[in-house]
Amino acid sequence: MIKRGKYEYPNLTGDYNLIDIQIRKDVMDFCKKRGINKSKLIEEFYKSILIRFRDGSLNASGGYITINILRNPITK
C-alpha cells in the first residue's frame, strides 16, 4: 500500500528496475515530449504480457508483444 500525505492507494505498489542512466534519461525526455504517462505505459505492458500468456498467444507469437503507446490511458 502506498500512502502519500492524506491519500492512501491500497491497490498500488512500486516496481523498481535498474537500467542505464542514459536510457532512463532518453525515455524520460521521449515521454515528456509525447505526453506519455510512464506508470500507465508499464502497467499496460505488464497487462499485455499477462493477457497474452493466459490466452496462449504469447507462445504462438514467439514472445512478441505489440502495444499502441500513444493511446488512452497511456497518453495524458
How far is it, in rounded angstroms, from Cα 40 to Cα 6? 23
Q: Is 70 exceeded by the pLDDT of residue 2?
A: no
> Looking at per-residue confidence, does 8 or 1 come out higher?
8
pLDDT of residue 66: 93
3-state SS, residue 2: strand
> Looking at per-residue confidence, does 76 or 29 come out higher?
29
- Asked, for residue 32, whether it belongs to a domain, the answer is yes
- Asked, for residue 65, whether it belongs to a domain, the answer is no
Q: How many independent structural domains does the chain possess?
A: 1
- Asked, for residue 11, whether it belongs to a domain, the answer is yes
76, containing H or E segment: none
Range of the domain at 56: 2-60
- Asked, for residue 74, whether it belongs to a domain, the answer is no
- Asked, for residue 54, whether it belongs to a domain, the answer is yes
How far is it, in rounded angstroms, from Cα 12 to Cα 8? 9
- Asked, for residue 75, whether it belongs to a domain, the answer is no
**Per residue in 5-62, pLDDT tens?**
777 778 888 888 899 999 999 999 999 999 999 999 999 999 999 999 999 999 999 9
